[in-house]
Homo-oligomer: A and B are copies of this chain.
């Protein structure tokens, strides 16, 4: 069995945020699998086969990638962001654990990528400047009560919170419910940032307070960052060449109380 599988994080979208290792892995693949819009970002080389699949078919896609690798192909399986963060890497190992014994002998490599939380943080300032957590608001694979429990402990622990998958057409109410829960624990002044399609042409950033955050402003392409108690904004002066400067959002490194 000489095939291999490399699981590649493509980053948030801009080609400049791809790593060299990710590019090399893509260039060396005979077959590239992924969700259609991620494959659309690539410029395949002559002879490379692209296999697009739908958004909710992670486990099937993982099995297809493993099967191709087991048949001797050099397979790349792509995710947006980092493939280990709410993306394909976990689905692949789940497929291996429950799949053919031969898959455990495969050469599997994971290439990290810039996950949405890091790209959003960089655009905003330094909101993750201290201890933080990442929670997927999708309740497709976990009960909502578990999401609530994690939100509660994240707020009680005063973590900065990055919310992945805050909303979609099929999950319209979860972000509002999360804000309601957090409003019962955190001060209303805590900053909340909506970072949409970071590094892509349709990028949009909005900053609210927890009291005023409007869940309707989020969609599938949005990452939401909810500050810790110490997170703060730095106002910036208007300049002729930059009349409407967004404030910087950051969380100080220093913290005083438990």
A-side residues, CB < 8 A to B, are 9, 11, 14-21, 24, 58, 82-86, 89-94, 96-97, 101, 104-105, 108, 110-115, 118-119, 121-123, 125-136, 141-143, 145-146, 148-150, 152-154, 156-159, 232, 234-237, 239, 248, 250-258
A234: contacting residue among B9, B93, B111, B142, CB under 8 A = B93
A-B contact pairs, 22 of them (CB 8 A): A9-B118, A11-B19, A16-B19, A16-B21, A82-B121, A84-B128, A89-B126, A90-B250, A90-B252, A93-B129, A93-B250, A96-B248, A104-B235, A104-B237, A105-B239, A131-B136, A131-B150, A133-B157, A133-B159, A148-B258, A150-B158, A152-B157
Interface hub of A16, A24, A122, A256 (most chain B Cβ within 10 A):
A122
Q: Could you tell me if A122 and B131 are in contact, using CB atoms closer than 8 angstroms?
A: no
Q: Could you tell me if B110 and A142 are in contact, using CB atoms closer than 8 angstroms?
A: no
Q: Could you tell me if B82 and A118 are in contact, using CB atoms closer than 8 angstroms?
A: yes
Q: Could you tell me if B129 and A89 are in contact, using CB atoms closer than 8 angstroms?
A: yes
Q: Could you tell me if B19 and A90 are in contact, using CB atoms closer than 8 angstroms?
A: no
Q: Could you tell me if B258 and A19 are in contact, using CB atoms closer than 8 angstroms?
A: no
Evaluate whether A150 and B142 lie within 8 angstroms (CB atoms) in the complex, with A16-B21, A128-B85, A133-B133 already known. no
A90: contacting residue among B96, B136, B251, CB under 8 A = B251
Q: Which residue of B lies closest to A121 (CB)?
A: B84
CB-CB < 8 A to A150: which residues of B?
Answer: 131, 157-159
A149: contacting residue among B19, B114, B134, B258, CB under 8 A = B258
> Whole-angstrom distance between the alpha carbons of A101 and B237 in the complex?
9
Q: Could you tell me if A250 and B149 are in contact, using CB atoms closer than 8 angstroms?
A: no
Q: Could you tell me if A234 and B112 are in contact, using CB atoms closer than 8 angstroms?
A: no
Least distance between A130 CB and chain B CB atoms (Å) = 7
> Whole-angstrom distance between the alpha carbons of A10 and B146 in the complex?
36
Beyond A18-B20, A112-B118, list 13 extra A-B contacts (CB 8 Å). Answer: A9-B118, A17-B20, A17-B21, A19-B114, A90-B130, A93-B125, A101-B237, A104-B235, A108-B248, A115-B118, A131-B134, A131-B150, A146-B258
